[in-house]
Amino acid sequence: MSERFVEKRTGSQSREYANLLCDFMFKRMFGSEANKDVLIWFLNMVLEDVDIADVSFIPTEHLGLTEEDRKVIFDISCTCSDGKTFIIEMQKGYQKYFRERALYYTTYPINAQGREARDRFEAERLEGVAADRFNWDYNLKPVIVVALLDFQFRHSEEWPKEKFHSSYRLLEDVVHEQMTDAIRFVFLELGRFKKRISELETAFEKWIYLLKNMHRMTEIPPEFSEPLFERLFLLAEIGNFTPDEMKQYYNSLENMGDYDNIIHTAQEEAEKRGLEKGLARGRAEGRAEGLAEGHAEAQVEIARKMLAAGMTVEQTAQLTGLAVDEVKELQ
């Protein structure tokens, strides 16, 4: 991990944290060698009956067939020491056949096991140590799909409304005997998780809460004082981003349709600060003046972020309503 994430911050200054569900942050958290322990920590909580000590990332390609698929599915794939393959995905928009899509995705690593077995046979045959013909026993290593869903499946009426964590395997209809452990699907329906911060009981619930709400926080709550959670906050603190990382982050937000919400939130926060200033002055006209001041502060703050993200002066002026000369002064 970069040194700029190691130092623990002190003081009461408010901070801005990234949205963990966008492509940039999803890969930053779960898809980098530097933060591999974060992925292992998360998987061990989601898969309670699996003990993962280490993983190796597999070079991935988006498996969708259309450009639209590539925008909404963010794949991370890795294996652990006993041969299990994990596919971790984030699905933002509702997709009617997402379960079927997840099933389709498992066919890729399953087929790859057969190809690898044949490749090993061919290599051994060239060395003169293989049998006369290829004879694979189909001993498949498990493939586990973990999908974070920012939408809700349409379940049966019996499905508990608050049940957000589900796990599916291949079972016999009557006695529910497991046919094989070669395929498993775990879905986290984030929209079904409604707990408030005071109601969180486990580290897993805290993880889910942060996935949904970290971008709304301005400090690390005492409920998240564990070292790995503090590490996650440092990882997501926008103030720690390089200019290039910031550009990637805001581009990612724009792609996920959340860019307007970021602007709206910045405006509300700055206007609130302005209102507080007006009320502190204790004058009736101070309220209006404070709101106006807050709105102006919001536009300046948004403009700075846009420039840092690589937008041109003209684009920034058009989106914020500031004059071109005002924007130039912020460079």
Least confident of 28-32, 68-72, 102-106, 297-301: 68-72
321: left (phi over 0), alpha (psi -120 to 50) or beta: left
Residue 145 lies in a domain: yes
Residue 158 CA, chain-centre distance (Å), reads 30
The parent domain of residue 212 ranges over 14-240
Specify the higher pLDDT residue, 108 or 273: 108
Quick one: average pLDDT of 94-116?
Answer: 88
Residues 6+ positions from 41 with CB-CB distance below 8 Å = 228
Rounded CA-CA distance 90/284 in Å is 49
Rounded CA-CA distance 188/43 in Å is 12
Rounded CA-CA distance 227/238 in Å is 19
Instruction: Flag whether pLDDT at 139 surpasses 80.
Output: yes
Indicate whether 72 and 200 sit together in one domain.
yes
Residue 160 lies in a domain: yes
Instruction: Flag whether pLDDT at 318 surpasses 90.
Output: no
Residue 9 lies in a domain: no
Q: What is the pLDDT of residue 74?
A: 42
- Bridge partners of 149, per DSSP, are 91, 189
Residue 247 lies in a domain: no
Rounded CA-CA distance 26/23 in Å is 5
Per residue in 224-264, pLDDT (tens digit) is: 999 999 999 999 999 999 989 999 998 888 877 654 555 55
DSSP string for residues in 230-290: HHHHHHHBGGG--HHHHHHHHHHHHHTT-HHHHHHHHHHHHHHHHHHHHHHHT-HHHHHHH
Domain-ending residue, one of 196, 211, 240:
240
Indicate whether 284 and 141 sit together in one domain.
no
Q: What is the pLDDT of residue 163?
A: 96
Indicate whether 226 and 266 sit together in one domain.
no
Indicate whether 88 and 158 sit together in one domain.
yes
Rounded CA-CA distance 4/228 in Å is 16
Helix (H, G, I), strand (E, B) or coil at 86: strand
Total count of domains within the chain:
2
Residue 129 lies in a domain: yes
Residue 45 lies in a domain: yes
Residue 252 lies in a domain: no
